[in-house]
Amino acid sequence: MDNAGMNDAGTDDAGVRDAGMGHAGTAGTPEPRPNGRVARKTVLRAALAATAAIPVALAGGPALARTLTTTGTAVPLTPPCDDGDHPTPEQIEGPYFKPDSPQRTSLLEPGLPGTRLTLTGYVFGRACLPVTGALLDFWQADTNGAYDNTGFRLRGHQYTDSRGSFALTTIVPGLYPGRTRHIHVKVQAPGRPVLTTQLYFPNEPRNNTDSLYDARLLMTVRDGNGGREAAFDFVLDVPQEPGPGPTPTGTPPSDGTWAAGTAYRAGDRVTYAGRGYVCLQAHTAQPGWEPPSVPALWRAA
């Protein structure tokens, strides 16, 4: 069925518009906050960006790319998650969601027309820690603005990896009457409620006339990889153990070996893989924040 003439805006503008706006951190040395705490997302980005497994295209982190427009103007985009507030806003599901989509990270198939689009990002919880195994179920219109409601073309789900990251390969969705350009997605941390929302493209004329459009759900989009490259990070309203704090209570293992879950203080010394390191900033160690991977937190002794 071709639904190019239909409008999934519905009658309920369910966008949550009371969440604050802010700018995502960049991947660099964690910035001390006025209260002495460290923006956890900044620390996390430092850890993620310092890890070789990050694709070159993402070095610097998706948030860095999203912070500024092409004109260098700061814009209020997806909310930060550095203090356990402001989760990604919800939006209506629309009429075209179908359950039981295939598990796949690429929605491309032979003969599918359209401009190639890669979408990458992370799923965080309220404490800005990555959510492993979070479900992301995407669905979208084809390049002509039509949804496939009989099959599963341009529908697919996947799960975040141990770093909370995801990557989708698809095409730029087409326009259909009543809506600006968008991608639908459901995101769910294991055992938690489903977040249903939509992602938007910058510099779309219809963004100004679509009542569902929400700037906090704008992706960063740029040319690359033979098409378009987009980035977006989700913040789910799921509780997590706090990360870095001003008064860590844990103590390093007595043998000095680095261990995830330990609250380290500046000046603490550990060994990791036979090498010594000095802690540069108080934090609670997380998997993926091993000293060689996080120069913002550890200096080789």
Contacting positions for Fe ion (CB under 5 A): 8, 94
User: Closer CB to Fe ion, residue 196 or residue 240?
Assistant: 196
Cα 232 to Cα 33, 206, 213: the distances in Å are 24, 20, 16
Per-residue three-class SS string for 208-234: HCCCCCCHHHECEEEEECCEEEEECCE
Q: How far is the CB of 139 from Fe ion (least distance, A)?
A: 8
Q: How far is the CB of 47 from Fe ion (least distance, A)?
A: 35
Q: How far is the CB of 8 from Fe ion (least distance, A)?
A: 4
Q: How far is the CB of 254 from Fe ion (least distance, A)?
A: 57
User: Closer CB to Fe ion, residue 46 or residue 195?
Assistant: 195
User: Closer CB to Fe ion, residue 38 or residue 92?
Assistant: 92
**Is residue 87 classed as helix, strand or coil in its secondary structure?**
coil
67 dihedral zone (left: phi>0; alpha: psi -120 to 50; beta): alpha
First to last CA, the chain: 64
User: Closer CB to Fe ion, residue 199 or residue 263?
Assistant: 199
Question: For residue 290, what are its two tokens?
Answer: 């091993």
Q: How far is the CB of 260 from Fe ion (least distance, A)?
A: 41
Compute the distance between CA of residue 199 and CA of residue 12 in angstroms, rounded to an integer. Answer: 17
User: Closer CB to Fe ion, residue 30 or residue 94?
Assistant: 94
Residue nearest Fe ion, Cβ-based: 8
